[in-house]
Amino acid sequence: MDPRQAWKEYLRELCFPSNDSSDEEDDLFMEGMRAWQADLEESERRPWGGGSVPGRKCINRYRHEGHMRLFNDYFADPPVYPDYIFRRRFRMKRDLFMKIVAAVEEKDPWFVQRRNAAGELGLSALQKVTAAFRMLAYDAPADSLDECLRLGESTIIESMRRFVNAVVQVFGDEYLRSPNEEDTARLLAINSRRGFLGMLGSVDCMHWRWKNCPTTWAGSYTGHVNAPTIILEAVASQDLWIWHAFFGMPGSLNDINVLHRSHLLDDLAAGQAPKVNYTINGQDYTMGYYLADGIYPEWATFVKPIPAPVGRKRQHFVVQQAAARKDVERAFGVLQSRFPIVRGVTRLWDEETLSAIMTACIIMHNMIIEDEREDDDVDYAYEGAGEDVQASHDVTPPLMVLSQRYNAIRCKQAHVNLREDLVEHLWQLHGGDV
């Protein structure tokens, strides 16, 4: 029996189990089955993402002319627009952009330019990647890019989705990693010149408004912003490099709730983080710390400001702590300026794509910092900088050891002692007396 006929008989048995249906009921059943079969056949003929659909007029966008104009404007030798305009519009230098294009094209064959059945060249990788960049760098609607880049709206959105996923897969391990021994030694050396011995960076959270949040989720994603938002927790250093990014928590949570769910301190608790040894005011410490604002808990790994400081020493500490803690706020500002899509109201629907967009923007932000870093301004070759950092590659510790490490991280007394020692140390550097 034909599979479709068998399916019809099965549905008939479900609808009329007694097998004594009337002729009128049989006619209604067959009419419904014919309509269902017609819809099924139409959906099988309809291509995904638009294309040639019966009754739809195909628009000739002159794709090749669009590619040649884009190439002559920015990538020819010489181009129409000089380097400083390319840097402003693409947020990075041309060499770095071409590096990303080549890596994405190699990772995802969808970006490779091909010929169709008629022998005509399709869209180039430059057109697809540029369309994705314009959405990220200008927060532009996909339909607004059709005129200049000659891509349809659905193709631009697909380009953006595939582009951010490819960037995360290709560059994520290198440009969104936890600090290794060399990185930790450099961070400690840089921050020691600022008076904060043992500091690894500053931590804070940022909200990204989600316009098209599903209605059923709106309550859990709405917090103090009075609109659905998604939270990014990040750690940044003085050069605005983002070392830690934890994205996806609903906006109804505060910074403490996000901290309890993030992986910021997991490596330290598991013994996988580089071991740090330093001395402040005559006291020895073995854990690095992050500068944080007042909402964070009083743990040994955070240094918070002193509320209502009394005395010149404590007031001086609060000023210095706030100045250094602004590193992460500056990183958020530069990230949002380079990629306004994470600053405005996102119009996408699925959380997975939003996570890929945020992660890809952070990765490219770090790539730009590395590419444009002026080593002459800051001397990273500190003599003996790595003497106080040892590699730590412990296997998964027993539960009791893990519990002891978490207790050490959350020790309030260690937090108070560290802050008081920093108060004295910064005051001595300031050269003041009581």
Domain definitions of the chain by residue range: 63-174, 181-430
The pLDDT profile of the chain, 434 residues, written as one tens digit per residue, is 555 566 556 556 656 655 555 666 666 667 766 766 666 566 555 455 555 556 666 777 778 888 899 999 999 989 999 999 999 999 999 999 999 999 999 999 999 988 877 777 888 999 999 999 999 999 888 888 888 888 888 889 999 999 999 999 999 999 999 999 999 999 999 999 999 999 999 999 999 999 989 889 999 999 888 899 999 999 999 999 999 999 999 999 999 999 999 999 988 888 888 889 999 988 999 999 999 999 999 999 999 999 988 989 999 999 999 999 999 999 999 999 999 999 988 888 788 999 999 999 999 999 999 999 875 445 544 344 444 555 555 556 777 888 888 889 999 999 999 999 999 999 998 876 65
Q: What is the pLDDT of residue 349?
A: 76
Q: What is the pLDDT of residue 431?
A: 77
Contact 222, 251 (CB under 8 A): yes
Q: What is the pLDDT of residue 19?
A: 56
Q: How far apart are CA 158 and CA 376, in angstroms?
A: 41
Contact 292, 401 (CB under 8 A): no
Helix then strand then coil, in percent of the chain rounded to 5, is 55, 10, 35
Q: What is the pLDDT of residue 385?
A: 41
Q: What is the pLDDT of residue 14?
A: 59
For residue 309, cis peptide bond before it (omega within 30 degrees of 0): no
Contact 368, 92 (CB under 8 A): yes
Alpha helices in 139-197 (DSSP H): 146-149, 153-175, 181-193
